[in-house]
Each structure stands twice: as structure tokens, then as C-alpha cells.
Amino acid sequence: MDNPNILVTNDDGIYSPGLKILFDAVKPLGNPIIIAPETPKSSSGLGITLHKPLRLEEVNVNGLRMWSTNGTPSDIIYLAQRIANKIDVAVSGVNIGDNTSIQVILSSGTIGAAAQAALIGVPAIAFSAAVSSAGELEAVADFIAAGARAVVSHVMRRGMPKGIDVLSINFPREFSPNTVAKTAEAARLRYEQYLDERVDPRGGKYYWLYGEQKNPRPGTDVYVVNVERNIAVTPLYLDLNANKCNAHDDLHDLINSITTAIRSLFPP
């Protein structure tokens, strides 16, 4: 690709440090275009906006020029085509919090943006990190940027792995010389969901939905990221028909490139 247009988006909003980490990661690879929600849109999934007009505003956030929108991460895929005519690659993240398990993947705005791009034929990668704050994300920014650059560079040179629509990359909260990337299937459930009923001062009932983490099964994305503290590479296939696509064998070189990129940041 000759100076490809790389869409950089997220669901955490324009002020998230994950945008700059991803922008810095892909800037050497092409022409990055940042479009992000004006406010956080976590758990927006594949939702698109049909009940109000979408608006775009060019803004400067901490010295970084980008577009802000009142729409969802999925809306951004279509807005991007208005700005750039053609998007060659879409990258989403870096999300504050890992997006592991089918339960979380299906509601994630970060992965939703990537999936929406994949539906219209754009190679798409979602990046998330098992951190709980912007500060924790910034503390491991160099490692995440190195890993993200390795993934995007690989996809731009060789295309998406055969039969794969979206790559979901989940980074651990800390890195060491022993940190490696692994293919990992998505766990089915990460949380046991509960509904907490309460009563307001006027006697009306209201509810809080919350979850308690289940023990993850070895080999799943939840286990690789949160127990092993490694990088989980989860290939996603968007065809919801009842069949399976086995693409893990085609990911060997990509896995090695991520591990090599991370280890290059440590002294020999």
C-alpha cells in the first residue's frame, strides 16, 4: 500500500490516552486519521445512530488533531469514508480494560467499530489492555505501541489471516522479558451477572447490574491475559452461521512478530 489511510478510533472518547498510543504506533505505517466519540461509548457494540443527525467537529486534543463525533464507534466507520473517501485499515483502541470473552466481545464498542469495518471489507484490528485507568495504560504505552505496530505492519504487508474478519488483541497490565503473544480462543463467559434491587427515598425500585468474575479456563483469552499475563491474539469470524473457521495455524508469523517487538524493548 502506498501511504494507506489508517482509521484510528475507539469507544473511550477523544480524551483517552489510548488514541495517542495507537496513533503513534501506526503513524510510521501510513496516513492515520483519528475519529472518536466526543464522550465515552463503552458497551455500545455494533450500535449505529438512527434517531438523530450525526455531527463531526475537527478538534485539537493535547496537540493531536482529530475529528470528534456525537455518534457511536460503529457510526465512525461510515463517517470516515466521508472524510477520507477510502479507508485501507481500521484500528480501534487502545481500550482501557481488556475485551475478553464472547460475553464482553459482543457488547464492546472497541470491537464493534472493528467489526463494522470488517463488514464492509476493511481489514480491522481491535486493541485492548487489562488496565483500570488512563495512568496504568500510559505506564505500558511503549510496549503496547510496539505490539500494535507489529500487528498492523504484518496485516498491511500480508493481509488479514485467511478466513478472519477481525483480530482482537488484548495486552496484559504489565510486561516482562518473558511476555509472549499467544493465539487464544474467546472464553464464553467472563462474569456471572447479577441484578441488585434497591429502593429510592420515594419508595421506587431501581436496579444496578453487576458481575462477578468466573474462574477462567486455561487457553482462553481471559486466562492468557489475566492469569498468565501474556498477550492474547483472538481471531474473530463474523459469519454467525453454525460453522467454525480454524485460523490459528495461519497466525504463527504474526504471533512471533508481536513477541519480538515486545522483547526488543528490554535490554539483552
Q: In whole angstroms, how far apart are CA 77 and each of 12, 66, 88, 124, 215?
A: 16, 14, 12, 11, 35
Cell numbers given for 48: 449505529
- Is 24 annotated to bind a ligand? Reply is no
Those residues with Cβ within 8 angstroms of residue 258's Cβ, 6 or more apart along the chain or in another chain:
147, 150, 151, 169, 181, 231, 233
What contacts 45, CB < 8 A, 6 or more positions away? 74, 106, 107, 108, 109, 112
**Cα separation, 3 vs 26, whole angstroms:** 11
Q: Is 42 annotated as a binding residue?
A: yes
Binding-site annotation, residues: 11-12, 42, 95
Binding-site annotation, residues for a divalent metal cation: 11-12, 42, 95
